[in-house]
């Protein structure tokens, strides 16, 4: 049981949350290779229907081919520009609702599918003109826990840039202050120095924190790393659920109607436990996953306000 605490009686963390340190961590992350891959949805969100989205100002449509493979292509029909997100999918091909043009894995004039990847939890698209880096065949591999595990994904949008989302996650000191309903007894055990270059093994935050579930608490030690320019990974390294990860991915969507940039945060929570009955409990996964997604979304409603504030001050 977590003893009752007064929010304002916590030890202030502003002295440790050095802006130069957070800025240096962000700069190092943004220099890492990402292969021009952007995540845009949960794997479970792409079904037998067309799925419309935008990445980097590019309108896209995603769907499943005949064999279930992820396909992503420009959203405008090459004939007269119909929105292919409204197209029915038949036998793995899009059927344009305006004139019946069938579009699938093959190129049609200037229209052609883009490199796409489904890692089993998240869906990705490669946009070389948006990423501007050396392209890779697949996204940077994320180390996820072994089976049995359960994964849930939350996606929210805000008026900010991907760097603002990443900067939020590279500030672990705000957790217990800004999210007292989820975190308590938070202590940053170690943080990387404010330097331009660090060995990858040294570039991490180590945090001791208790996750709240009402009056109950689960103490853990977690590492925060930024393996790509738009990704921060939290991994539990000690305590309940060792190996469990929270992957936070920031994706640029493009300007909104007001001209300001919009970004999506796509967060995957992959939970694991060595407890003997954990696997048996996964029969309730259809009930558990929505609760996991709701918890992540609640956190990110607050944290997007943080990220949007960073963007407002900078602009």
Of all residues in the chain, the percent with pLDDT exceeding 70 is 99
Cα–Cα distance for residue pair 162/126, rounded to 1 Å: 16
Find the range with the poorest average confidence among 18-22, 110-114, 250-254, 276-280.
Answer: 276-280
Mean pLDDT computed over 20-26: 97
CATH number of the 7-33+141-314 domain: 3.30.530.20
Helices 162-169 and 19-30, axial angle in degrees (round to 10): 120
DSSP code of residue 174: G
E strand or H helix that includes residue 302: helix 285-314
Q: Is 147 exposed, middle or buried (0-12, 13-18, 19+ CB in 10 A)?
A: exposed
Q: What is the pLDDT of residue 4?
A: 72
> Residues 6 or more apart from 144 whose CB is under 8 A from it?
121, 245, 270
Two structure tokens written together for 294: 């709701």
Question: What does the pLDDT look like over 182-191, one tens digit per residue?
Answer: 888 899 999 9
> Residues 6 or more apart from 291 whose CB is under 8 A from it?
none
Question: What does the pLDDT look like over 47-99, one tens digit per residue?
Answer: 989 999 999 999 999 999 999 999 999 999 999 999 999 999 999 999 999 99
Q: DSSP string spanning 131-166?
A: H-S---SSPPPPP-PPSSEEEEEEEEEESS-HHHHH
Question: What does the pLDDT look like over 267-310, one tens digit per residue?
Answer: 999 999 888 878 877 888 888 889 889 989 999 999 999 999 99
User: Quick one: three-class SS letters along 27-90?
Assistant: HHHHCCCCCCEEEEEEHHHCCCCCEEEEECCEEEEEEECCCCCEEEEECECCCCCCEHHHCCEE
Q: What is the pLDDT of residue 81?
A: 98
How many angstroms separate the most distant Cα atoms in the chain?
66
Find the range with the poorest average confidence among 4-13, 16-25, 149-158, 289-298.
Answer: 4-13
Compute CA 258 distance to the chain's CA centroid, rounded to the nearest angstrom: 25
What is the gyration radius of the CA atoms in the chain, in angstroms? 21
Report helix, strand or coil for 98. Answer: coil
Mean pLDDT computed over 227-232: 97
pLDDT of 1 above 70: no
Q: What is the pLDDT of residue 236?
A: 96
Mean pLDDT computed over 201-220: 87
Q: Beta strand 216-228 with 231-239: parallel, antiparallel or unpaired? A: antiparallel
Asked if 132 and 140 touch (Cβ cutoff 8 Å), the reply is no
Highest mean pLDDT among 2-16, 207-221, 299-313: 299-313
Asked if 174 and 209 touch (Cβ cutoff 8 Å), the reply is no
- Of the pLDDT bands very low, low, confident and very high (cuts 50, 70, 90), residue 213 is confident
Mean pLDDT computed over 102-109: 96
Asked if 104 and 111 touch (Cβ cutoff 8 Å), the reply is no
- Of the pLDDT bands very low, low, confident and very high (cuts 50, 70, 90), residue 177 is confident
pLDDT of 19 above 70: yes
> So where are the chain's domains?
7-33+141-314, 37-131
Cα–Cα distance for residue pair 59/26, rounded to 1 Å: 28
Enter the pTM of the model: 0.94
Task: Note if the bond before 148 is cis, omega within 30 degrees.
Answer: yes
- Tell which phi-psi region holds residue 86, choosing left (phi > 0), alpha (psi between -120 and 50) or beta: alpha
Question: What does the pLDDT look like over 113-165, one tens digit per residue?
Answer: 999 999 999 999 999 999 999 999 999 999 999 988 999 999 999 999 999 99
Residue 295: HSE in the Cβ half-sphere, 13 Å Cα cutoff: 17
Mean pLDDT computed over 194-219: 87
CATH number of the 37-131 domain: 2.102.10.10
């Amino acid at each position: 049981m977590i003893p009752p605490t007064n929010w304002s009686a916590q030890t202030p963390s502003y002295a440790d949350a050095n802006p130069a340190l957070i800025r240096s961590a962000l700069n190092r992350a943004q220099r890492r290779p990402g292969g021009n891959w952007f995540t845009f949805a949960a794997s479970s969100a792409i079904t037998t229907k067309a799925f419309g989205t935008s990445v980097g100002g590019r309108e896209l449509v995603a769907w499943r081919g005949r064999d279930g493979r992820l396909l992503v292509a420009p959203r405008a029909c090459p004939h007269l520009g119909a929105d292919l997100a409204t197209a029915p999918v038949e036998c793995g091909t899009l059927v344009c609702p305006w004139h019946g043009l069938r579009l699938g894995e093959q190129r049609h004039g200037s229209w052609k599918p883009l490199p796409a990847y489904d890692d089993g939890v998240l869906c990705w698209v490669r946009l070389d003109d948006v990423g501007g880096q050396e392209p890779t065949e697949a996204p940077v591999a994320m180390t996820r826990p072994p089976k049995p595990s359960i994964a849930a994904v939350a996606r929210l949008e805000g008026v900010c840039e991907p760097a603002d989302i990443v900067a939020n996650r590279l500030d672990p000191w705000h957790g217990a202050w800004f999210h007292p309903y989820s975190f308590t007894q938070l202590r940053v055990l170690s943080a990387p120095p404010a330097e331009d270059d660090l060995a990858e093994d040294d570039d991490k935050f180590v945090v001791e924190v208790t996750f709240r579930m009402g009056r109950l608490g689960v103490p853990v030690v977690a590492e925060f790393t930024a393996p790509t320019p738009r990704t921060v990974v939290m991994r539990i390294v000690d305590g309940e659920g060792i190996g469990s990860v929270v992957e936070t991915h920031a994706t640029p969507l493009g300007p909104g109607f007001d001209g300001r940039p919009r970004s999506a945060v796509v967060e995957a929570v992959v939970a694991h436990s060595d407890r003997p009955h954990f696997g048996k409990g996964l029969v309730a996964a259809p009930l558990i996953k929505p609760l996991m997604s709701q918890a992540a979304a609640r956190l990110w409603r607050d944290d997007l306000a943080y990220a949007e504030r960073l963007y407002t001050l900078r602009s």
